[in-house]
Amino acid sequence: MRSQIVTTYQNKRNTGTTPYAFTEQGVAMLSGILNSDKAINMNIAIMRAFVAARRLTLQQMDTTAQLKEITERLTEHDVQLNQIYDAMENLLDERIAQKKWEERERIGFKK
């Protein structure tokens, strides 16, 4: 019963289409079986392509991490700039209030 389930599942998964690409492990296994010079050279070229693709993926991940870090820094800078603008507005408001206070009409005794 168990083997029938496995074979039925595999038959549903393999719908008669052949794969268009090998995995890296598949190429490594194939190179152990094929012994012709042409096959060996082709396997070496394919393995180099896998290494280059992996290297490119890692570089892209590094770039993504760098962009994320830059975005976080920019967000922090925006917060800091907003705090500076708020402080400047408070200082300007205090100066305007002080100026109004000094220029008010005096009451009481005059010197």
Q: What is the pTM of this model?
A: 0.43
What DSSP element (H or E) covers 65? helix 37-102
Average pLDDT over residues 11-27: 66
pLDDT tens per residue across span 56-109: 888 888 888 888 999 988 988 898 999 999 999 988 888 888 888 888 777 777
Q: How far is CA 92 from CA 19, 35, 100, 104, in A?
A: 71, 83, 12, 18
What residue ranges do the domains of the chain occupy? 13-102
Q: Is the pLDDT of residue 9 over 60?
A: no
Tokens coding 59: 């570089």
Average pLDDT over residues 3-17: 53
Tokens coding 29: 């296994």
Note the pLDDT of residue 6.
47
